[in-house]
Amino acid sequence: MTFTALIYSCAPTRVVKPLKKGEKTVSFHAGGPMIRYSNLNIPVPFTSIMGAWGFTNDLTFFNAIHTTSLLYKTVHTEFGTLINLYDPKCYSYRPWITLSHVANIAFDTRKFNVKYWPQLDLNAYWHYKQKDSYFYLGVSNWFEFSSHKAHEEKQNEQLYISPYAGHTFVRKKMEYTLEYKLLAPHVSNQLSVVEKKSFGSKGVNAFYINITRKF
């Protein structure tokens, strides 16, 4: 997997379910791809902070900043929208379906380079037993427009597809999410200097936790 795909496309799903009109949330995310470290398999402890705002009941805006990348003098931020595509109007086997668009922007303060990657995530989520908590599935589509990687290497992949699944436990003012994501299962993981953990020679397993405060 390329450095770009590992560092930038491995963020967790930001928003799956639209917020209510006027509702605001602040979230803390931690986790990342699984690696081998000191004889242990652990997720890379990437961290980020996100704020979200319900513009309408069907449209949510959000913005995230990657706090770990700031330590390496790179400002990586995300600006996104989530729209509701389908509402079954009741608790049933039919899922709610949402679509998010994310503009990923990274600015290297050392070399003053700026990069942009668009991203589209399609989500399906189910409530169960008429509870607010929900289970979700989805797929993230990350687009790479550059024709070259670092050191003028040819960029062979223009699309990184990463399926994911998660569960959000909803409380009155708090939400807690656990998510699993298979990063780029169509891309070889054998060329990295870091030993990543997966089910085979392609893709990388990633795990995340998310803590959200509602206002």
Written as one letter, the residue type at 185 is P
Task: Give the chain's domains with CATH numbers.
Answer: 3-214 (2.40.160)
Q: What is the pTM of this model?
A: 0.86
User: What CA–CA distances, in Å, run from 66 to 16, 71, 72?
Assistant: 19, 10, 11
The tens place of each residue's pLDDT in the chain, 215 residues long, gives 444 445 556 789 999 999 999 999 999 999 988 877 777 777 788 999 999 999 999 999 999 999 988 988 889 999 999 999 999 987 778 999 999 999 999 998 888 889 899 999 999 999 987 789 999 999 999 998 776 555 456 666 788 899 999 999 999 999 999 999 998 887 766 555 444 445 556 778 899 999 999 99
